[in-house]
Chains A and B, each alone.
Chain A
């Protein structure tokens, strides 16, 4: 296994419309690691997710993001996706008239073929992905995530309930098999049963060569998905890091308590 980190973010500064959101963020994710990123509203968690995925509205003013040692800023969002970066959206967009099946087929074909080509240049075999394989794979993954087959014919995210949207995101992740998955508040808006299904889905998709960043407000998601590291984000920076116990401490003290403790620590 490679020793180069999957994701290495250094001193990242990001602005949107001249307002600085990220103010010098550092984060390293290695293969096999799950990182929980917690923080209050407006601390910049979703901005980080968007910047990693390549959203055009955000401007990186300083710092770097490297994916397997390569700077990603010149890559378009689709290149990033084809190289194995995946963002599970907090608010997935509705695309009227486009069926899940059509959308998934195109996405999966693009990503898998790119991967096969990359493997071929590394001396591996390049097998183009066929529609038949796709249908089989889609049915398999839908069954695994307890998603009804009728889902395939529905228009992308149109009229989906909160839980259905999140499950659809996980289905996409299952089919794209990313190397780096950023999950932006995948737990929000889910009742406990839906949360369990989604979390089990994520756990079943975890591979040793994969890294995950779980963005969440709450500890409850972490009861189902065990992180190796917990990072607390405030005002555009990571202010504290630790193991799973940090999330429990946060649950107890709240962000205000933590902010006070940090301020006191800084003064002493």
Chain B
């Protein structure tokens, strides 16, 4: 006779799995070809240079083999994906200009409410296009640009042309090439010299259609002495077949500027999330990635900071939760090109059931980059006997006068911790969520309060047997 029956913990139901009926203006046929790429460019009325860029990228994509490292990509069928869906003819400047059903979806996701409460600007992308965009008037007056990237190509061609594809070249990797060929939507941000955007700007990415491929392209330029905090969130309906999300994010942080980029990725568990995110930080500039990965079937994402000039600093905070059937292959890359630069990577992962999390990170110091400091901490928490975690820390240090730290821990939730909390009246689920939330606290406290609460709640949902 056992003293106590052991309760079961079930995975929480995905809360954002609802779908809208398709009422689209245009939906490309399935599969990828040169024609599809040309069609996308034509529909957008793009200049020749962008069409050329796309077609070249398409060639790269065709030639590049599928990566064989990281997660299992063998089930992705590029012929079974819709590469471009235009949900509506025009972008709304107010939510009332957005088609009713799409507006309802974003309302369910809490975007207009968040916008009213604590955001300075919002972009909302539905399938391939940004359907809503806003920026607070005072920021507009200060010269801040926050538009979708398609609009930027039309309205700020010089800026876009100068930087587009310079941080992540089209031939960087197979999925960057794919994005470069078929990209649509995403955010373009330009913060003028010495302008500080104290309230976050947010973009929200929603996939609705089955077998959808979403390929947004984001470009952020922080002029000298400026500051911006950009936040992105994303969800999708739950389908039995897989969708693909493959974004490219390029960031330029000029002298003395600071950029913080926060992601709360909460895709449904049928989405491949294969994203290339990279920033270049110049003299005395700081780039911070705060990367939260909760959803998706497989995520491969390693936000990178290239420190190009002395005084640059890169910081990456990564938190991943791998539930049943999920693989989170996440981490970060810091590349010290210049001397007197510093970086930090803090990664926390949680694995549960058949979930698997991997930390994959790179610290690279170029020859001549003296007086570099870099510190990497990665902690993994396993919630049970079946979950799995791996660590792949890569170090390429070509300079001797550097200080590099690395520590990694793997821990299991101790029975004693659960028992202690239960003996104070918390259920086993509550105890488990409290321990998990404590584990990620060092990262949660870096988030704006609203997002910390959201992260907390999402993790609680993952731990509970029911929908919140």
Q: Looking at the complex, which one of A59, A96, A103, A108 makes contact with B3 (CB distance below 8 Å)?
A: A59
Asked if residues B437 and A98 are in contact (CB atoms below 8 Å), the reply is yes
Query: Could you tell me which residues of chain B, from 274 to 327, have a CB within 8 Å of some CB in chain A?
Result: none
Asked if residues A176 and B2 are in contact (CB atoms below 8 Å), the reply is no
Known contacts A82-B425, A107-B426, A110-B425; is-contact A96 B439 (Cβ 8 Å): yes
Rounded to whole angstroms, the CA-CA distance of A172 and B423 in the bound complex is: 11
**Contact mask for chain B residues 419-449; partner A; CB cutoff 8 A; 1 contact, 0 none:** 1111111111011001101111110000000
Interface window among A72-80, A206-214, A221-229: A72-80
Rounded to whole angstroms, the CA-CA distance of A75 and B414 in the bound complex is: 21
**Contact mask for chain A residues 45-70; partner B; CB cutoff 8 A; 1 contact, 0 none:** 00000010111111111000000000
**Chain A residue at minimum C-beta to C-beta distance from B420:** A93
**In the complex, how many angstroms separate the beta carbon of B395 from the nearest chain A beta carbon?**
27
**Chain B residue at minimum C-beta to C-beta distance from A98:** B438
**In the complex, how many angstroms separate the beta carbon of B23 from the nearest chain A beta carbon?**
44
**In the complex, how many angstroms separate the beta carbon of B347 from the nearest chain A beta carbon?**
15
**Contact mask for chain A residues 105-145; partner B; CB cutoff 8 A; 1 contact, 0 none:** 01110110010000000000000000000000000000000
21 of the cross-chain contacts (CB-CB < 8 Å) are: A54-B4, A56-B2, A56-B415, A59-B2, A75-B4, A76-B5, A76-B422, A93-B417, A93-B419, A93-B420, A96-B438, A97-B440, A103-B421, A103-B424, A106-B430, A107-B424, A107-B425, A108-B425, A110-B426, A110-B427, A110-B430
Say if the beta carbon of A4 comes within 8 Å of chain B: no
Size class of the contact patch on chain B:
20 to 34
Asked if residues B1 and A93 are in contact (CB atoms below 8 Å), the reply is no
Rounded to whole angstroms, the CA-CA distance of A89 and B425 in the bound complex is: 15
Say if the beta carbon of A87 comes within 8 Å of chain B: yes
> What is A's interface to B at a CB cutoff of 8 Å?
51, 53-61, 73-78, 80-82, 86-87, 89, 92-93, 95-98, 102-103, 106-108, 110-111, 114, 155-156, 172, 176
**In the complex, how many angstroms separate the beta carbon of B416 from the nearest chain A beta carbon?**
5
**Chain B residue at minimum C-beta to C-beta distance from A82:** B425
Asked if residues A93 and B4 are in contact (CB atoms below 8 Å), the reply is no
Asked if residues B422 and A78 are in contact (CB atoms below 8 Å), the reply is yes
Asked if residues A78 and B426 are in contact (CB atoms below 8 Å), the reply is yes
Q: Looking at the complex, which one of A56, A97, A106 makes contact with B426 (CB distance below 8 Å)?
A: A106
Say if the beta carbon of B6 comes within 8 Å of chain A: yes
Residues of B within 8 A of A106 (CB): 426, 430, 434
Asked if residues A54 and B437 are in contact (CB atoms below 8 Å), the reply is no
